[in-house]
């Protein structure tokens, strides 16, 4: 009597492990799709967890740093390191999931299942099993591993193209507003060269740029953590300076009304609000002055 009960429980356990392992494989594939392929804002737990853990490690590295330049030099590595660590996280999840699949389908030792999973994932070939089911599992695991590596490699040019476009605008703002950017410096310089009444094209360019930033920084959220090459420059402060300058021109400077300034302001706060919402940063849904200055 005890033997059938034990066998039934053992079979039930293997079935449960098989189902959980399939779920973990699908979860990991979904994570990579949401992070690297999906062209819209989407929160992903493995990605958020990885960036959060790395952020805590970098916070420890900053404890002895007091000046901003040295802190910025360290934090410049935060985005790239976190992005690079996503691949080992995904591969580890796949390795664990397929170890469960191998064990659930007949590999008696958890150690042997783990070794077979690692050999299949990394295409090392030092461990194998000749049964058809295990060969199919090994082939699918190797395929998933190669796809994850290829996706990340193909992803890097995309993210750096978006980064370069953003930073080009930040550097061009340095020409007009200085570093760090200043509203007064920008408007005084425009007045000196006789361009104070011809800022319409500037507002139009930044209206388009805000739209692009909203799209890239929501579909590629790790771009938010890629810092500017110059410590005193930042896309966040640049965006704030442009909106402040547009607001100052519209409210205070005696020049003809420029509707593009209003559109630039709206494009800016819409972009920043949607990026903030993606990261869970609280902000007024409909700010009103003077209640929300």
Q: Is 292 domain-assigned? A: no
Question: Do 123 and 62 belong together in one domain?
Answer: yes
Question: Do 102 and 207 belong together in one domain?
Answer: no
DSSP summary character for residue 286: S
Q: Is 286 domain-assigned? A: no
Question: Do 102 and 173 belong together in one domain?
Answer: no
- pLDDT tens-place string over residues 168-179: 999 999 999 988
Question: Do 45 and 127 belong together in one domain?
Answer: yes
Whether pLDDT at 4 is above 90: no
pLDDT-derived band at 194, boundaries 50, 70, 90: confident
Q: Is 42 domain-assigned? A: yes
Q: Which tokens sit at 208?
A: 């388009």
Helices (H) and strands (E) in the chain, counts: 10, 0
Asked which of 153, 185, 208 is the last residue of a domain, the reply is 153
Which letter, b or e, does each residue of 230-257 get, where b requires 16 or more Cβ atoms within 10 Å of its Cβ? ebebbbebbbebbbbbbbebbeebebee
Whether pLDDT at 153 is above 60: yes
Residue 125: which domain range? 2-153
Q: Is 236 domain-assigned? A: yes
Question: Do 39 and 130 belong together in one domain?
Answer: yes
Question: Do 147 and 178 belong together in one domain?
Answer: no
- pLDDT tens-place string over residues 52-83: 999 999 999 998 888 888 999 999 999 999 99
Question: Do 27 and 149 belong together in one domain?
Answer: yes
The rounded distance, in Å, linking the Cα atoms of 277 and 113 is 43
Q: Is 107 domain-assigned? A: yes
The rounded distance, in Å, linking the Cα atoms of 107 and 46 is 28
The pLDDT, as a whole number, for residue 24 is 96
In order of 12, 181, 195, 264, the CA distances from 246 in angstroms are: 67, 13, 14, 7
- pLDDT tens-place string over residues 219-243: 899 999 999 999 889 999 999 999 9
pTM: 0.86
What are the helix (H) ranges across 178-284?
183-192, 200-219, 235-251, 259-278
Q: Is 160 domain-assigned? A: no
pLDDT-derived band at 2, boundaries 50, 70, 90: very low
Question: Do 149 and 169 belong together in one domain?
Answer: no
Q: Is 79 domain-assigned? A: yes
- pLDDT tens-place string over residues 107-124: 888 899 999 999 988 877
Question: Do 186 and 65 belong together in one domain?
Answer: no
Question: Do 18 and 49 belong together in one domain?
Answer: yes
The rounded distance, in Å, linking the Cα atoms of 126 and 97 is 19
Asked which of 153, 178, 204 is the last residue of a domain, the reply is 153
Q: What is the mean pLDDT of residues 16-37?
A: 94
The pLDDT, as a whole number, for residue 202 is 92
pLDDT-derived band at 257, boundaries 50, 70, 90: confident
As a whole-number percent, the residues of the chain with pLDDT over 70 amount to 95
- Strands (E) in 78-176, as ranges, are none
Q: What is the mean pLDDT of the chain?
A: 89
Q: Work out how many domains the chain is built from and give that number.
A: 2
The angle formed by the CA atoms of residues 160, 210 and 206, to the nearest 5 degrees, is 105
Asked which of 130, 153, 176 is the last residue of a domain, the reply is 153
Q: Is 73 domain-assigned? A: yes
The rounded distance, in Å, linking the Cα atoms of 44 and 20 is 19
Give the number of other Cβ atoms within 10 Å of residue 287's Cβ. 11
The rounded distance, in Å, linking the Cα atoms of 156 and 159 is 5
The pLDDT, as a whole number, for residue 289 is 64
Closest by CA position to 166, among listed 232, 74, 233: 233
235 and 165 Cβ atoms separated by less than 8 Å: no
Question: Do 88 and 201 belong together in one domain?
Answer: no
Rg (CA), the chain: 26
Question: Do 127 and 208 belong together in one domain?
Answer: no
């Amino acid at each position: 009597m005890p033997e059938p009960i034990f066998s039934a429980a053992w079979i039930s356990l293997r079935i449960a492990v098989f189902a959980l392992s399939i779920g973990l494989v699908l979860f990991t594939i979904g994570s990579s799709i949401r992070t690297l392929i999906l062209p819209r804002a989407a929160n992903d737990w493995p990605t958020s967890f990885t960036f959060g853990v790395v952020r805590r490690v970098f916070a420890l590295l900053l404890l002895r740093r007091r000046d901003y330049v040295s802190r910025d030099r360290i934090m410049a590595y935060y985005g790239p390191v976190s992005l690079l660590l996503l691949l080992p996280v995904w591969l580890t999840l796949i390795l664990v999931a397929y170890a469960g699949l191998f064990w659930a389908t007949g590999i008696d030792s958890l150690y042997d299942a783990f070794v077979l999973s690692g050999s299949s994932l990394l295409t090392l070939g030092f461990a194998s099993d000749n049964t058809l089911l295990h060969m199919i599992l090994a082939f699918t695991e190797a395929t998933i591993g190669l796809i994850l590596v290829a996706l990340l490699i193909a992803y890097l040019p995309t993210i750096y193209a978006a980064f370069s476009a953003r930073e080009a605008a930040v550097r061009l703002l340095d020409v007009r507003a200085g570093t760090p950017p200043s509203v007064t410096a920008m408007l005084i310089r425009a007045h000196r060269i006789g361009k104070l009444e011809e800022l319409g094209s500037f507002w139009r360019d930044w209206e388009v740029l805000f739209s692009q930033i909203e799209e890239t920084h929501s579909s590629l959220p790790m771009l938010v953590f890629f810092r500017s090459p110059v410590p005193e420059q930042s896309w966040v402060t640049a965006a704030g300076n442009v909106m402040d300058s547009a607001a100052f021109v519209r409210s205070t400077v005696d020049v003809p009304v420029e509707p593009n300034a209003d559109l630039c302001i709206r494009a800016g706060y819409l972009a920043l609000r949607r990026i903030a919402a993606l990261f869970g940063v609280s902000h007024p849904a409909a700010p009103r002055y003077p209640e929300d200055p």
